[in-house]
Amino acid sequence: MKYNFDEIIQRRNSNSYKWDSAKDNDVLPMWVADMDFRTAPAVIDALHRRVEHGVFGYTKVPVYYYQATIDWFNRRHNFTINKEWILFTSGVVPALSSVIKALTVPGDKVLVQTPVYNCFFSSIRNDECEMVANKLVYKEGTYSIDFDDLERKAADPRVKLMLLCSPHNPVGRVWKRGELERIGKICLQNNVIVISDEIHCDLVYEGYAHVPFASISEQFLQNSVTCIAPTKTFNLAGIQVANIIAADEEIRRKIDKALNVNEVCEINCFAVEALTAAYNEGEEWLEELKTYLYSNYEYLKDFFTKNLPHLPVTKLEATYLVWIDCRSLKQTSKEISEMLLNKEKLWINEGMMYGAAGEGFIRINIACPRSLLVEGLNRLKVLKQ
Ligand SMILES: Cc1ncc(COP(=O)(O)O)c(C=O)c1O
């Protein structure tokens, strides 16, 4: 490997949300979704050059920022994006919140597939809408969609949007083209607009391919909004940048207005350079990162098979967030996570955060050097039967 993902970088006392939020210094954090790796060297070089300039005034987003985004999605995901469709903002959560504000009125309903990324719930609530859960079906260590339930729920005239998590956090699925086609058809039939959060689209493992929802057909493109960012892929969450792809002019106009109302219509000068360098020069680094992450997953799976066989590990098709079925422990996910934090000094996420469908599960972030993963896994041995 050209890049050293085994290197331990001290993140404690670096104002890291993940590392510096714990009360005790010996807590090992395997929770919030950022990585303990340095980003791609090309990104660091680009940021150095920007810092050297020394003037950090208001930023005009240049053509090369848009072009880097367009080229990346064309090259990596076979998705042709027109520059006019792109709206930039300071993160995918601000994007989702603004899109919901733009396309609903208070009291409207929004479909989500639970268990799902917890900020979906808060964004829906903050825009005074009601969440409707199309619960995913867990069977034999993986998840699928209950399409009959989706069809019934989408038929409610108060349901205006569906927030799709693609690939899915926390269940690790990469939705297949056929599954996305069925979702898209149901939503079209019921006048439900699909908001596709594709922030994890670059962290898809061998044997799986991310299909951008909007790339499937012209009808899906016009009936959807896609949220993308290089921040999970290249570990840039603190830089705060995301793009919204909205091909329909009227939808885009409403979102643009909501971004302005929410005052999240600016990005900073570092975001421009980081995104551009990542998309234009980060490909080789990303390929190695994915190999490393997947070998961490295999290590974890092997560890569970040998040491904790009563806790099934969900199949990981994408993301570095592993979803583990702890229901045989007969404890709530809150009890499990609190015990791990207080007794073992290991911070993982409790499944209930992702909705009631996550009860009894835990989520572990494996985007760390192997030695830290081993340390974390050893602290999990307390869950032995
Ligand atoms: C599905 C999903 N969307 C959005 C985010 C956060 O995006 P941002 O940091 O750009 O607001 C996350 C972070 O974990 C996520 O998993």
Q: Which tens digit of pLDDT belongs to each residue from 97-152? A: 999 999 999 999 999 999 999 999 999 999 999 999 999 999 999 999 999 999 99
90 DSSP 8-state letter: S
Residues of the chain with CATH 3.40.640.10: 45-281
Task: Tell me which residue of 35, 95, 364 sits closest to 229, measured CA to CA.
Answer: 95
User: 187-242, pLDDT tens digit by residue?
Assistant: 999 999 999 999 999 999 999 999 999 999 999 999 999 999 999 999 999 999 99
Task: Tell me which residue of 112, 96, 243, 130 sits closest to 187, measured CA to CA.
Answer: 112
Percentage of residues in the chain having pLDDT higher than 90: 99
Q: Which of 93, 98, 165, 321 to mutate to test the pocket of ligand 1 (most atoms within 8 A of CB)?
A: 93
**Ligand 1 pocket at CB < 6 A:** 33, 91-93, 117, 165, 169, 197, 199, 229, 231, 237, 242
Task: Tell me which residue of 157, 142, 112, 138 sits closest to 354, measured CA to CA.
Answer: 112
Shortest-distance atom of ligand 1 to CA 319: 16
Q: Mention the CATH class of domain 45-281.
A: alpha beta
Does the structure show a pLDDT above 90 at 385? Answer: no
Does the structure show a pLDDT above 90 at 68? Answer: yes
Distance 146 CA to ligand 1 centre (A): 24
At residue 87, φ and ψ (nearest 5 deg) are -120, 130
Q: What is the mean predicted confidence (pLDDT) over 152-165?
A: 98
Closest residue by Cα to atom 4, ligand 1, is: 92
Distance 306 CA to ligand 1 centre (A): 33
In angstroms, rounded to a whole number, what is the distance separating the alpha carbons of residues 14 and 17? Answer: 9
Shortest-distance atom of ligand 1 to CA 229: 10
Shortest-distance atom of ligand 1 to CA 237: 9
Residues of the chain with CATH 3.90.1150.10: 17-39+283-383
Q: What's the fold here for domain 17-39+283-383?
A: Aspartate Aminotransferase, domain 1 (3.90.1150)
Distance 366 CA to ligand 1 centre (A): 16
Residue written as token pair 């080789």:
284
